[in-house]
Amino acid sequence: MEKNQVPDIVVARLPLYLQTLKTLENEGAYNTSSKDLGQKLGISAAQIRKDLSHFGEFGKQGTGYSIKYLTECLEEILHVNKTWDMALIGVGFLGHAIVNFQGFYNQGFRIKCVFDSDPNKIGQIVAGFEIMDIKNLEATIKENRIKVAMITVHAENAQEVTEKLINAGVKSILNYAPIVLKVPTGIQVQYINPIIELQHMTYYLE
């Protein structure tokens, strides 16, 4: 099926399936079922089967799914069967934490370069990376052919940084800044905003 025919909400669930499969594999399991996956994720077995059917047939009735095979298929579908170099822009408290986070490296991602505009930070070494001047952002990203970036700058600077990234060839942006970015068609943006998630949860509190 063509990419633009697969609902984005389906694509958003695939990483959850992949993460659960890897957990099962680490626990020593070899096979699983849509029912088992559904119970672990709080998603119906029928929904999981429907989601996967967008991309082919992966299991057999009565035996379920081979965890290893389905993991490999989902990694290929999500294009994380290779390693994507990433740029990080903004090395404040959050940026420091992300640079030091080791979980990217076995999940298909690798931080390649980090940038900041603060003269007091430029040239410092963080987790083995030299903080580069944001003035060199576009040239560095083009030179390294980076397609993925994370933004951890203040909200008032996020749009300007986004435009520089897009001009440099970045196609996917993970935005931690509390602002909705304006991007052209074809640029993927995902948002991480803990305040919004907290406010979502507190609705259910007495």
Whether 106 and 58 share a structural domain: no
Tokens found for residue 55? 């991309």
Choose the weakest-confidence range: 57-61, 142-146, 184-188, 191-195. Answer: 57-61
Asked if residue 131 and residue 57 are part of one domain, the reply reads no
pLDDT in tens, 91-138: 999 999 999 998 888 888 999 999 999 999 999 999 999 999 999 999
Q: Which domain holds residue 174?
A: 84-196
- Rounded CA gap, 193 and 18, in Å? 23
Q: What pLDDT, in 10s, does the model give residues 12-68?
A: 999 999 999 999 999 999 999 999 999 999 999 999 999 999 998 887 766 789 999
Q: Is the pLDDT of residue 2 over 70?
A: no
- Provide mean pLDDT across the span 145-159: 96
Instruction: Give how many domains the chain has, as a whole number.
Output: 2
Mean pLDDT of the 162-179 span: 96
* CATH code, 59: 1.10.10.10
In sequence order, which ranges of the chain are alpha helices (DSSP H)?
8-26, 34-41, 45-53, 67-77, 93-100, 137-144, 155-168, 194-202
Same domain, 54 and 91: no
Same domain, residue pair 90 and 187? yes
